[in-house]
Amino acid sequence: MPEKLVAGEIIKYINITRTIMENVVENVVAMPRIGDKAPEFKAITTQGNLDFPKAYEGKWVILFSHPADFTPVCTSEFMTFAKMEPEFNALNCDLVGLSIDGLYSHIAWLRTIKEKIEYKDMKNIEVKFPLIEDITMEIAKKYGMIQPGESSTKAVRAVFFIDPKGIIRAIIYYPLSLGRNFDELKRALIAMQTADKHEIATPADWRPGDAVIVPPAGSCGVAKDRMEGDEADMKCYDWFFCTKELPLDKV
């Protein structure tokens, strides 16, 4: 603060500072993080009212945002996700979409997709998972889906993986121009479920059926055993890096 301010100037200075701080706070992008509880919200969707994440207790859910209805990249993504929905459901995972559009725009877009769009091997595609209307951007802001450097009016392509306890387990962001790889989203879901079930980790480019990584040796004795080949089902590249087979039918 400049020196020798009189009382009136001090109040003016405080008020200006407060206004600046309020603007900063308003423009801060809330970014939920991995390990956080998924922020709660109530929403209107193309499948009725939604109480999130309560409605998905006991299930995995992928909450994803897209920039706008009636846009080509989003259309290709929605058709792909809708086609793959049974594969995600079979993994105990539901899908929920969101964009900063109103309910009637969502309905009109989904009707157009079903009635008119043939893309690759997909036609007559019905989007059965809920698409949230978020015209006020309240939910998009809560989830850090608005990233002003990319767009202040459209949500980026965010993907939140939320586990059966309502905890955010993975987050992937893509820019507006980049359509997502849905095989990768499925691979990531299976990898997290496998890590939970078997208390292992998955190496680079892991696919179901590949070897998995066992937790690093936690003592000198275990490190020695592993290096001496005493752990029969493991392959060790060094004492801290060991894998074991996990056949597809055990994943």
**Residue ranges in contact with ligand BEZ by CB under 6 A:** 67-68, 71-74, 154, 176-177
Q: How far is the CB of 102 from ligand BEZ (least distance, A)?
A: 17
User: Could you tell me the smallest distance in angstroms from the CB atom of residue 70 to ligand BEZ?
Assistant: 9
Q: For residue 83, give the 3-state DSSP assignment.
A: helix
Q: Which is nearer to ligand BEZ, 99 or 194 (by Cβ)? A: 99
What's the min distance (Å) between Cβ of 78 and ligand BEZ?
10
Beta bridge partners of 162: 61, 168
182-198 and 72-90 helices, crossing angle to 10°: 30
SS (H, E, C) 13-58: HHHHHHHHHHHHHHHCCCCCCCCCECCCEEEEECCEEEEECHHHCC
Q: Which positions are catalytic?
A: 74
Pick between residue 175 and residue 209 the one whose CB is nearest to ligand BEZ: 175
DSSP 221-248: HHHHHHHTT-STTEEEEETTEEEE---G
Rounded least distance, CB 113 to ligand BEZ, Å: 13
Amino acid at 197: K
Nearer residue to ligand BEZ within complex by CB, 177 or 219 = 177
Question: Is the Cβ of residue 67 or residue 166 nearer to ligand BEZ in the bound state?
Answer: 67
